[in-house]
Structure 1
Amino acid sequence: MKKNIFYITSLMVILLVTSCKNFLEPKPTDKYSESVAFSSEANAKLYVNSFYPILNYYGLFGSAYLSGNMYTDGLTDIMKTAGSTIGSNGAIANLYATSPGLITSDQNSLDIWSNAYYYIRLINEFMTGLDKSNLPAGVKVNLAAEARFFRGYLYFLLMRNHGSVVVITELTTEASHPLSSANDCWNVVEADLDYAALNLPETAADAGRITKGAAYAMKSRAMLYAQRWQSAYDAADKVLKMSKYGLNDSYSGAFGSYFSGNKEAILEFKYSYPKLTHSYDAIVSPGGDDALYQFGGDVEPTQELVEMYEKAGGGTVNWAAWHASDVTATPPWETLEPRFKATVLYNGAEWKGRTIETFVDGKDGWTAYPPAGGSNRGASVTGYYLKKYVDENHTDLVNISSSQPLVEIRLAEVYLNFAEAAFNLSNAPDANKGINAVRNRAGLPALNLSGAALLAQIKKERTIELAGEGQHYWDLRRWKDAESTLTGKYVHGIKIINTGNGYQYNYITCDDAPRQFPAKLYAFPILSSELVNNPAITQIKGW
């Protein structure tokens, strides 16, 4: 395998120097002609490269949803976003969580319709040009497999939003297209990911390109939403049998690049400082890191998430004593399993050579929700900060841009996909096998469950294992658990007061209104502007 890291290159790079022959024949200056784009395998690869930023845009560090994709977990019970007024980070998530009526057919910050179809059209254009090109057959198949991976991924995201969309897999000038049936839509997702999986290599010649494992892993995720359990099971099983992947010995090490030794990473997007960066650290880091992180802590773990973790080595924790005020006993954070300590920063935790201080007037601070002025200004409202994915080696006091890789899919998720699909196929042994793989890595004992208890554990393990990775909101929707989990509920935290002789711990409510999730949010509306553009579309039922 080549060790050169493959960085995403814009299509604009294609052949900056072209032939000067036939200079009397004018050529467009705002785009590259099809003949140039497909004149060589190298050019065609650059064309495909222009699709890779899709992973950035829709991934955890991107901005497709709520102006920041990391905020989607703030729509659930496991995370709190701190902003409370429009313009402050995470404010839209808070507003949507308590006032879901703000989501309408005229406005929805979770909508991706226009952008997704823009990319789908580009991919269809690529597929048409590729088919007509004189490139070798093997090159065509490989590049088509990469392109179809992205098209299948985009249709999956659209289906995740709406439950039924318009399927277009060829170029067309027709403006009116009706919604396709859900079954037909999922057929396209499955066919595209299957084509990618069957035709891509296990190890790409250029490090960083989509591989067979990435395609099967994405299929295992998508087919859970389609409730095509056998397809999800088979796809996950394909990945689990690939020797190139393995769970990292340490949960905290599960988020590094495959090319730096993390065999758990299956699909990743590589950033490159200073050309291609993201702002995750600036948004999530604890407020005390330095003055430049004054907007840090905008996605914070809740007490609800903290209480899901087991003791190290197994066993439950009784938190009842800390559901009160002026408690002097230290919460049992130090006794919890490794996934907690790798995900959550709490008062007293070690971080960047110092100790986290989330008490009132501490270095990392605490503020009531809603914070004064609408922004928490780097102080926690739950008493916790998110640690997962934050770069502990990032100590630059001048430039807060970050470049740690995004691991979009890792092997632990595939084990959980495998477990959930197995459960729905009435295969309890394999369902237990899947969850026990991730539990054992965390030092927790194996389980042998069945029935409702097994399903509940699968959901719990998925929530804990993937907390802060931007999947929980979408999982609650596809499980149809969002109503019961969220409606009428508040999220909580711990307010800590330094008395000079120790600490007082106070159980607090961190929402200013109860959360709500009406059933119609299981399928988002199509924006009115799209209905005008395409008269053949009918609005999603309930909207």
Structure 2
Amino acid sequence: MNKFKKILVATVVAGLAVTSCNDDFVNTSPLDQVSEAAVWTDAALAEAFVTELYGGLGNGGFDEQMLASLTDETAFTHPGRNITTITESRSNPADPGWINGTLSWVNMYSRIRACNLALKNLEAPKFNNSNKIAERLRGEATFMRAYFYHQLVRYFGGVPLVDRPYTLGEEDYMAPRNSMEECINFIVKDCDQAATLLEGTTLAAGRASKAAALALKSRILIYAASDLYDMNTAKAKSSAMAAFSKPEVLAISTGSRTERWTKAKAAAKAVLDLTGYGVALNLSAPVSKEEGSTNYMNIALSRNGGEKDLIFARYFINAKQENGGRQGLFNGPNGYHNWAGNTPIQNFVDDYEMMDGTKFSWQNPQQASQPYVGRDPRFYASLLYDGAPWKPRTADVAAKDPVNQIQTGQYELGDGSGTKTPYFGLDTRKSTVEDWNGSYTGYYMRKFIDPNPGIVDQNTWQQVPWPHLRYTEAIFNYAEACIELGEDAEARTWLNKIRFRSGMPALTESGDALRQRYRNERRIEMAFEEQRYHDARRWMIAPTTLGRKANIITVLGTLKPGKTVSLYKYDPNSYNYEYKVTDMDPGKENRTWLDKMYFLPIHRDEMNRNNKLVQNPGY
């Protein structure tokens, strides 16, 4: 295993390395380094060491390439990033495809070793511990170890469990993969211990807490009860899993799923019972469309009370210009000089219900002629579509669009005489503004982008946190467990709390119909939050979701007879609009699902370093 043969050195503070220097010729200590022994005899340095563990979170999910583009949520616009290696099921041990650093095997084990170093040295603190700082630091390190292991497990399956720092001179640095059950139990134990150690602590935003430990436990136990993690179900639904020689590293065979769902339900309820979390969950009826959109936007931006939904997050500040604060640039429209990185696909857009709770359908003539009218209020807080209002354009573009509307279609301009000139929208790939950055899908992401007109996305950083763990996720976990245990009424009670604050009517279904409504509700509410990739796999619906061809929209606006338009704006009084859904050009992306993609391959280099590892099925 990578790094098992090395003494990993964790950074204490920026620019300081935990090393020692004792030269026989010059017996001096370096001014830019701190010895490992010194770190654990000084409470402030020990705190700095543990603080650096959070560096393993990276930018959360706010990198230029987002996990959403590995799913049926978005498509990545720019070529050459190894996204399609995964979406087209071409992953292999030599080239797994794009893997975010927050789930990289190498990075996670480096961070796990740092956690183990902290836990070992904090068992018997060598500094004054009268204020119990060592217990709190141990709680944080234990939580972070659980978090890093849960990242490895949900991407790779069972992994080698290492609970101590390796040292020089050991007989064997190799380690086999533990079973999925052992990994789940290990993570749960760490979560329980972290929750106990962090009981009663109040730390800065972005650090571990009892609530975070309980929320992580809820997540991993929901996974453990799901189809992909149940050996019999996984084998029945996947030939690759059925043929695998070591199925225990990917799924659980002992006990019953009822027992697992019961544990998952209890873990989620423990989160719901916490005080101080949750937003607008005491409603008895749906709020208005406008309030529903506002509620959802406030939660996504973590402001105006929406921050109460966050349990554990990665925060960003303007003083430290990190890429996590550049979502406007990364995902905004090219007509605003942005990069259109992860753009929603039609498959996802179509799953937003109508305001009355019915499904949207292109077979309904009225809905097909006005697809952006009367949809779930979260639609308007999550997506930028043709004609959607948005920020003022930059000075060099403002004259072309003084009304500030998204333009993703092709339209006609005319003087009323019958002569018509084609005009391509400012936010298309034939725009007069950075056409190479235009969306292929006809949509842009709105969620997580600060709508403040004073924030010019291409040169201003925003301060929107990435939601690692949300209170709402725990509600979904609880509802899912209730559905699987046949407790439909309880599930509906909690799901309708989320729907009412969003302006949507109550769910009334039972059984499998309720299960399907629940899954769509989770898909919409948790959009772009790295939930869909894991949900589609653990539910084993990936062949018909992640593997489905990506759909796009083309919009054509033709002038009505006698209408004069010299400067385009969205105007149904002057234009007839036609909307056409097609598959994305397969030369751009040709999505395909193979069952090997239920888990990522362990990189060839790791397999070569550790001869006790067994590769995942299909590779």
TM-score band w.r.t. shorter chain: 0.7 to 0.9
Deviation at 1:46?
Answer: 1.4
For 1:365, what is the secondary structure of its paired residue? coil
Match of 1:264 in 2: 309
Q: Is the 2:362–2:368 Cα contact (8 Å) retained in structure 1?
A: no
Q: Is the 1:343–1:388 Cα contact (8 Å) retained in structure 2?
A: yes
Identify if the C-alpha distance between structure 1 residues 377 and 403 changes in structure 2 by more than 3 Å, giving closer, same or farther: farther
Deviation at 1:391?
Answer: 1.6
2:279 to 247, 255, 258: 247
Match of 2:401 in 1: none
1:343 to 382, 400, 411: 382
Deviation at 1:346?
Answer: 1.0
1:315 to 355, 358, 373: 358
Q: Distance in 2 between matches of 1:308 and 1:216?
A: 31
Match of 2:195 in 1: 197
Q: Is the 2:499–2:505 Cα contact (8 Å) retained in structure 1?
A: yes
Q: Is the 1:176–1:534 Cα contact (8 Å) retained in structure 2?
A: yes
Match of 1:157 in 2: 151
Deviation at 1:330?
Answer: 4.1
Q: Distance in 2 between matches of 1:200 and 1:356?
A: 47
1:439 to 484, 494, 499: 499
- 1:405 counterpart = 2:465: yes
After TM superposition, list the pairs within 5 Å mapping 1:88-103 onto structure 2: 91-97=81-87, 99-103=88-92
Identify if the C-alpha distance between structure 1 residues 10 and 265 changes in structure 2 by more than 3 Å, giving closer, same or farther: farther
Q: Distance in 2 between matches of 1:40 and 1:268?
A: 28
Identify if the C-alpha distance between structure 1 residues 95 and 207 changes in structure 2 by more than 3 Å, giving closer, same or farther: closer
After TM superposition, list the pairs within 5 Å mapping 1:143-542 onto structure 2: 143-173=137-167, 174-201=172-199, 204-227=202-225, 228-248=260-280, 250-257=295-302, 262-278=307-323, 279-289=326-336, 291=337, 293=338, 295=339, 297-320=340-363, 330-353=369-392, 354-360=404-410, 361-367=423-429, 377-393=436-452, 395-396=455-456, 399-487=459-547, 489-501=548-560, 502=575, 503-512=577-586, 514-542=590-618
Comparing 22-31 with 400-409, which one deviates more in the overlay? Answer: 22-31
Q: Distance in 2 between matches of 1:48 and 1:309?
A: 42
- 1:79 counterpart = 2:74: yes
Q: Is the 2:296–2:378 Cα contact (8 Å) retained in structure 1?
A: yes
For 1:101, what is the secondary structure of its paired residue? coil
Q: Is the 1:416–1:435 Cα contact (8 Å) retained in structure 2?
A: yes
Deviation at 1:480?
Answer: 1.1
The residue identity in structure 1 corresponding to 2:554 is K
Deviation at 1:35?
Answer: 3.3
For 2:556, what is the secondary structure of its paired residue? strand
Q: Distance in 2 between matches of 1:103 and 1:537?
A: 16
Identify if the C-alpha distance between structure 1 residues 443 and 32 changes in structure 2 by more than 3 Å, giving closer, same or farther: same
**Residues matched between the structures, number:** 503
Q: Distance in 2 between matches of 1:258 and 1:148?
A: 30
1:441-480 per-residue CA deviation (whole Å, 9 max, x = no partner) reads 1122222332211221221111111112222112111111
For 1:262, what is the secondary structure of its paired residue? helix
Identify if the C-alpha distance between structure 1 residues 331 and 389 changes in structure 2 by more than 3 Å, giving closer, same or farther: same
For 2:90, what is the secondary structure of its paired residue? helix
Q: Distance in 1 between matches of 2:502 and 2:526?
A: 13
Deviation at 1:514?
Answer: 4.3
The residue identity in structure 1 corresponding to 2:484 is N
| Larger Rg over CA atoms | 2
1:125-169 per-residue CA deviation (whole Å, 9 max, x = no partner) reads 111121242242732221111111111011111111111111001
TM-score of the aligned structures, taking structure 1 as reference length: 0.85
Comparing 151-160 with 505-514, which one deviates more in the overlay? Answer: 505-514
Q: Distance in 2 between matches of 1:45 and 1:231?
A: 34
Q: How many percent of aligned residue pairs carry the same amino acid?
A: 31
The residue identity in structure 2 corresponding to 1:480 is M
Q: Is the 1:14–1:43 Cα contact (8 Å) retained in structure 2?
A: no
Comparing 501-510 with 382-391, which one deviates more in the overlay? Answer: 501-510
1:484-539 per-residue CA deviation (whole Å, 9 max, x = no partner) reads 3244x322222112334413322222241642111111122211111121122222
Identify if the C-alpha distance between structure 1 residues 406 and 486 changes in structure 2 by more than 3 Å, giving closer, same or farther: closer
Identify if the C-alpha distance between structure 1 residues 472 and 517 changes in structure 2 by more than 3 Å, giving closer, same or farther: same
CA RMSD of aligned residues (A): 2.9
Q: Distance in 1 between matches of 2:582 and 2:203?
A: 53
Comparing 150-159 with 307-316, which one deviates more in the overlay? Answer: 307-316
Identify if the C-alpha distance between structure 1 residues 345 and 456 changes in structure 2 by more than 3 Å, giving closer, same or farther: same
Comparing 266-275 with 305-314, which one deviates more in the overlay? Answer: 305-314
1:215-253 per-residue CA deviation (whole Å, 9 max, x = no partner) reads 111221122222243333222212211220112570111
1:56-90 per-residue CA deviation (whole Å, 9 max, x = no partner) reads 34x2114xxxxx451x222222222222x31xxxx
Q: Is the 1:271–1:405 Cα contact (8 Å) retained in structure 2?
A: yes
The residue identity in structure 2 corresponding to 1:417 is N
1:290-331 per-residue CA deviation (whole Å, 9 max, x = no partner) reads x3x2x2x22111222222112224333332257xxxx99742
1:176-232 per-residue CA deviation (whole Å, 9 max, x = no partner) reads 111111111111111111111222146614344221111111221122222243333
Q: Distance in 2 between matches of 1:130 and 1:328?
A: 62
Q: Is the 1:74–1:94 Cα contact (8 Å) retained in structure 2?
A: no
Identify if the C-alpha distance between structure 1 residues 243 and 317 changes in structure 2 by more than 3 Å, giving closer, same or farther: same
Q: Is the 2:386–2:443 Cα contact (8 Å) retained in structure 1?
A: yes
Q: Distance in 2 between matches of 1:486 and 1:179?
A: 27
Match of 2:240 in 1: none
Match of 2:256 in 1: none
Comparing 43-52 with 306-315, which one deviates more in the overlay? Answer: 306-315
The residue identity in structure 2 corresponding to 1:127 is L
Identify if the C-alpha distance between structure 1 residues 400 and 94 changes in structure 2 by more than 3 Å, giving closer, same or farther: farther
Match of 2:238 in 1: none
TM-score of the aligned structures, taking structure 2 as reference length: 0.75
Q: Distance in 2 between matches of 1:335 and 1:328?
A: 9
The residue identity in structure 2 corresponding to 1:235 is A
Which blocks of at least 5 consecutive residues in structure 2 are unaligned?
A: 1-9, 18-22, 226-259, 281-291, 393-403, 411-422, 561-574
1:271-296 per-residue CA deviation (whole Å, 9 max, x = no partner) reads 1113142232211011222x3x2x2x
Q: Distance in 2 between matches of 1:177 and 1:346?
A: 51
Q: Is the 2:96–2:603 Cα contact (8 Å) retained in structure 1?
A: yes
Identify if the C-alpha distance between structure 1 residues 312 and 402 changes in structure 2 by more than 3 Å, giving closer, same or farther: same
Match of 1:125 in 2: 117
For 1:404, what is the secondary structure of its paired residue? coil
Match of 2:52 in 1: 50
Deviation at 1:26?
Answer: 3.6
Identify if the C-alpha distance between structure 1 residues 143 and 403 changes in structure 2 by more than 3 Å, giving closer, same or farther: same
1:383-426 per-residue CA deviation (whole Å, 9 max, x = no partner) reads 11110001222533772444322222222211111111222333
Match of 2:105 in 1: 113
